[in-house]
Amino acid sequence: MNARIVRIAAVAVALCLAPLAARADGVDSVTITLSAISGAPGATVDVMGTITNSGPDTLSLDGDDLTVSAPLTATAEFLNNAPFTLNGGASATFEFFEITINPGAAPGVYGTDNSDVFSFFGDFNGVPIEDNVNFTVDVTTPEPGTILLLVSGLAGFGLIRRHSKVMP
């Protein structure tokens, strides 16, 4: 009876350690770097990123998940733009997702509470891997000089148009 329990325990331990054995070299890793995200209220910003496979094994890119805080909305583009696999030591740069900033958003930095997260799911030779990357979005307003320049140009255009209507 004890021998049977020992065999069952040994099989259970082997099954638990099997995923670790499939990753024989133990040095597979993924690094994700996202570009800085900044925009004005009402803007849509393309977020570029780089994914790097620093291990020797081929990385399969299986999926992603994206969480953003209000007043932001996001559109995942990862699986539309990512390669299916990434060889060992290789990297790829592409559009990961788009952020749309609500037109009524107040200026400030959103996501500093780690509420904005990009999650990547993949595998090395069938061994699953997940990587989470927190990011922030800096919502800005146009520079006062830009607004002044726009108003000045419109006023000048209005004066020219008015002047041309007065003259016969």
Q: Give the model's confidence band at 83: pLDDT under 50 very low, under 70 low, under 90 confident, else very high.
A: very high
Q: Name the CATH superfamily, with its identifier, for domain 2-144.
A: Immunoglobulins (2.60.40.10)
Asked whether the predicted pLDDT for residue 11 surpasses 70, the reply is no
Q: Give the model's confidence band at 157: pLDDT under 50 very low, under 70 low, under 90 confident, else very high.
A: confident
Asked whether the predicted pLDDT for residue 79 surpasses 90, the reply is no
| pTM higher than 0.85 | no
- Is the N-terminal amide bond of 71 cis, ω within 30° of 0? yes
pLDDT (average), residues 20-44: 76
DSSP assigned state of 90: -
**Annotated domain spans of the chain:** 2-144
Q: Tokens for 26, please give them.
A: 């133990």
Question: Residue 117 in contact with residue 134, Cβ under 8 Å?
Answer: yes
Residue 61 to residues 20, 99, 122, 128, 146, Cα–Cα distance (Å) = 19, 22, 5, 10, 43
Report the pLDDT value the prediction gives residue 3, as an integer from 0 to 100: 57
Of 49, 44, 29, the closest CA to residue 133 belongs to 49
Percentage of the chain modeled with pLDDT above 70 = 74
Report the pLDDT value the prediction gives residue 103, as an integer from 0 to 100: 93
Asked whether the predicted pLDDT for residue 107 surpasses 70, the reply is yes
